[in-house]
Amino acid sequence: MDPLDYFNRELDDHREILARTQAGLAEPFQKMLRLWVAAIESGNKIMFFGNGGSAADAQHLAAELVIRFVDNRKPIAALALNTDTSALTAGANDLGYDEIFARQIDALGKSGDVAVGITTSGTSPNVVKALEMARRKGLVTTAFTGRDGGRMPELADVALIVPATSTRRIQEMHITLGHMLCGALEKSLKLVD
């Protein structure tokens, strides 16, 4: 392997997916932002969840909102459902892994809250079940996904479907879009300049 060739090919591929994301996701991005803004302005919260790298994105984005994104400001109500190891392991053991997020949505979610499912495939059973539960409880349902969207288009009020098949490229766009939403949310709420 030629390290320089690999370096350049990876960045070229990233640039291509970035361009396709920019060309195709402006409208759903704006819709998702409007839904998040309306929820926070109404005193609701945003609940993120996902598996593996998507779990890391969920807790990363929740922390950006609760603590700060760029500048110090009032906190924004958010949490990541994949960070409570006792709830996750008890739920997986007692109810099955597919139920771990749905159970938390049922316990913690209220009408008007936002559920944010993050799944590169769009088919993760525990993310699907959580969004189904969120719908039943009257939550706003949003999703970050990729490929063909999987189940997310039918379960989410709005889904950001990254136009890629590579998990790593989808994840790269997810954290970029997530950061952009955090920044735009702060500005829309007039918490920062």
User: CA 88 → CA 4, 34, 55, 96, 128, distances in Å?
Assistant: 42, 31, 12, 10, 16
pLDDT score, position 193: 84
Percentage of residues in the chain having pLDDT higher than 90: 99
The CATH architecture assigned to 3-188 reads 3-Layer(aba) Sandwich (3.40)
pLDDT in tens, 144-153: 999 999 999 9
Q: Report the 10 Å Cβ neighbour count for 161.
A: 23
pTM: 0.97
pLDDT tens for 65-114 read 999 999 999 999 999 999 999 999 999 999 999 999 999 999 999 999 99
Mean pLDDT, range 22-38, rounded to an integer: 98
Confidence check: pLDDT of 121 > 90: yes
